[in-house]
């Protein structure tokens, strides 16, 4: 058991929790806040959505032991919230609920949408709701309800509200899991989008490395047929390193100490563009270095914070170099399910293999495409499943 302090719906509490107990069980069983519903318990259906430091999060994959000092708001804590009250009225008027099981999580996500994106259209609302599943309504009534309230806020001249990483109408608390990270760059079109001006303010802040709480940790290594000095020189050129990553590109020249980059990931019909910044540190004495950074996909508001450490070792009589890479990252938001367990590790291994092939090509004087194709996580997932089936049948 571990002692923790949390603010739950504006009330400070102290408790002792098991490390394995997730937040949904904690608020339901320990605090009797049963408005938070449990569906898949895999972070996919969205029924258990709550606010953690003002940002929507899945309570079934968040753990109180990792949230010491955070501010949590469940649907009960929004009983007197005027935006939620208007959404409840709109949901009833538009027949946006039937059995009601998904409704608490849907309302919390709907509130986040209308606060961030007043005037949001149907396509935007559908995209934002992609992580909340409803078995009954077909979503039409839900979308109409959210569009109605979003349009009302736009007509009233309400400014977009930054909810990610900041509690709204609640005491301010910053958690490393919900810090606003710096988007790579906003185009004129982005700046004119609902919420664009707020994102521009965030983009002006430099990235500051933060402690990662309960990160996913991966380690990979590979060899390239080049001397350690050659590989080291390439690693000191951010443009060349980024060029080796599938789906990645620099969006501004690097000064060698910071990078401003974007990585496009495709998962079936979903395409996410994580834009962000990072800081670079090199340790020539130990042939090692680190890159720390954060990024956000502006469409889904999914965030990633990561730390990469690399080390170069000579092999084969100094004719080749072994590159060892260790990565720790936290992914939060609608696409967080991409970071789970064996899937993440297999995908990381394949991404590393692609990086190694591109790195080898550069060292041989070959060129790497300046217009990289998106990292197709769907294809990687298909390959993972295919390999798993092959191993299964070989054992059989």
What pLDDT, in 10s, does the model give residues 26-81? Answer: 999 888 899 999 999 988 899 999 999 889 999 999 999 999 999 999 999 998 89
Q: Can you give the pLDDT at residue 389?
A: 54
Query: Given this model, what pLDDT does residue 122 score?
Result: 93
Residues 343, 275 within the same domain: yes
| Residue, of 215 and 239, whose pLDDT is higher | 239
Distance CA 140, CA 145 (A): 9
Task: Please tell me whether residues 168 and 310 are part of one structural domain.
Answer: no
**Model pLDDT, residue 1:** 86
Q: Is residue 55 part of a domain?
A: yes
Place of tokens 């009797």: 32
Contact between 107 and 88 under an 8 Å Cβ cutoff? The reply is yes
**Statement to judge: residues 166 and 235 lie in one domain:** no
C-beta neighbour count of 362 within 10 angstroms: 20
Query: What is the pLDDT at residue 221?
Result: 86
For the chain, what percentages of helix, strand and coil (3-state, to nearest 5) are there?
Answer: 35, 25, 40
Question: What pLDDT is attached to residue 87?
Answer: 96
Q: Are residues 26 and 131 in the same domain?
A: yes
Does 195 map to a domain? no
Same domain, 245 and 371: yes
In a domain, 208, yes or no: no
CATH number at residue 125: 3.10.20.30
Q: Is residue 258 part of a domain?
A: yes
Residue of 38, 123, 60, 129 whose CA lies nearest to 91: 129
In a domain, 87, yes or no: yes
Numbers of helices and strands, H then E, in the chain: 11, 13
150 pLDDT higher than 50: yes
Cα–Cα distance measured from residue 277 to residue 329, given in angstroms and rounded to the nearest whole number? 14
User: 171 and 229, same structural domain?
Assistant: no
Which residue is listed with tokens 């969006």?
Answer: 251
Per residue in 166-223, pLDDT (tens digit) is 434 433 333 333 333 333 333 333 434 434 443 333 333 455 556 676 677 778 888 9
Residues 230 and 140 in one domain: no
Does a structural domain hold residue 292?
A: yes
The mean of the pLDDT values for the chain is 78
Same domain as 222, residue 142:
no
pLDDT digits (tens, 9 = 90+) for 91-109: 999 999 889 999 999 999 9
Q: What CA–CA distance (Å, rounded) separates 147 from 126?
A: 10
> What is the reported pLDDT for 390?
56
Q: Which residue has the tokens 């293999």?
A: 353
Mean pLDDT of 6-23: 92
Q: Which pTM value belongs to this model? A: 0.48
Report residue 348 as tokens. 């990381």
Distance between CA atoms of 105 and 393, rounded to whole angstroms?
Answer: 41
Model confidence at 339: pLDDT above 60: no
* pLDDT over 70 at 19, yes or no: yes
Quote the pLDDT of residue 200: 37
Q: In terms of residue numbers, what domain contains 8?
A: 1-178
Q: Is residue 207 part of a domain?
A: no
Give CA separation, 301 vs 45, 130, 195, 196, 226, in Å.
Answer: 17, 12, 12, 13, 40
Q: Note whether 348 and 238 are same-domain residues.
A: yes
Give the integer Cα–Cα distance in Å for 319 and 76.
64
CA angle at 358 for the pair 348 and 305, rounded to the nearest 5°: 40
Domain end call among 178, 200, 225: 178
Structure confidence at residue 196 (pLDDT): 42
Higher per-residue confidence, 247 vs 310: 310
Here the CATH number for the domain that contains residue 313 is 3.30.530.20
| Pairing state between β 270-283 and 2-8 | unpaired
Give mean pLDDT, residues 127-145: 90
Residue 239 shares a structural domain with residue 108: no
Residues 27, 155: one domain?
yes
Strands 288-297 and 270-283 turn out to be antiparallel
| Res 113: pLDDT | 94
Segment holding 262, helix H or strand E:
strand 258-267
Does residue 190 belong to any structural domain of this protein?
Answer: no
In the chain, the number of structural domains is: 2
CA distance 331 to 128: 17
Residues 3, 103 within the same domain: yes
Q: Supply the pLDDT for residue 283.
A: 92
- Percent of the chain at pLDDT exceeding 70: 73
161 has a pLDDT exceeding 70: yes
């Amino acid at each position: 058991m571990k002692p923790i302090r949390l603010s739950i719906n504006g009330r400070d509490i102290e408790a002792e929790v098991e490390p394995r107990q997730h937040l949904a069980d904690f608020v339901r069983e320990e605090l009797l806040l049963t408005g938070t519903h449990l569906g898949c318990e895999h972070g996919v259906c969205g029924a258990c959505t709550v606010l953690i430091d003002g940002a929507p999060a899945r309570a079934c994959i968040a753990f109180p032991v990792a949230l010491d000092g955070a501010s949590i708001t469940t649907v009960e804590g929004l009983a007197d919230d005027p935006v939620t009250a208007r959404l409840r009225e709109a949901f009833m008027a538009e027949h946006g609920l039937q059995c009601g099981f998904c409704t608490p999580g849907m309302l919390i996500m709907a509130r986040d949408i209308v606060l961030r994106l007043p005037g949001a259209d149907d396509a935007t609302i559908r995209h934002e709701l992609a992580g909340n599943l409803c078995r009954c309504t077909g979503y039409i009534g839900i979308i109409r309800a959210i569009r109605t309230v979003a349009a009302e806020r736009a007509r009233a001249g309400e400014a977009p509200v930054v909810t990610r990483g900041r509690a709204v109408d609640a005491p301010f608390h910053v958690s490393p899991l919900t810090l606003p990270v710096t988007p790579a760059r906003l185009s004129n079109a982005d700046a004119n989008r609902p919420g664009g001006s707020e994102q521009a303010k965030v983009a002006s802040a430099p990235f500051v490395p933060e402690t990662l709480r309960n990160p996913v940790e991966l380690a990979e290594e590979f060899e390239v047929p080049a001397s350690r000095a050659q590989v080291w020189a390439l690693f000191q050129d951010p443009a060349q390193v980024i060029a080796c990553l599938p789906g990645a590109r620099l969006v501004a020249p690097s000064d060698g100490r910071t990078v401003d980059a974007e990585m496009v990931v495709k998962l079936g019909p979903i395409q996410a563009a994580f834009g962000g910044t990072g800081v670079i540190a090199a340790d020539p004495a130990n042939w090692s270095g680190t890159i720390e950074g954060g990024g956000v996909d502006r469409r889904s508001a999914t965030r990633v914070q990561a730390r990469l450490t690399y080390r170069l070792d000579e092999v084969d009589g100094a004719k080749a170099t072994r590159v060892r890479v260790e990565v720790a990252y936290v992914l939060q938001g609608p696409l967080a399910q991409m970071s789970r367990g064996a899937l993440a590790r297999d995908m990381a291994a394949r991404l590393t293999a692609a990086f190694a092939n591109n790195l080898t090509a550069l060292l041989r004087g070959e060129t790497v495409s300046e217009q990289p194709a998106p990292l197709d996580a769907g294809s990687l997932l298909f390959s993972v499943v295919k390999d798993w089936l092959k191993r299964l049948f070989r054992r059989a």
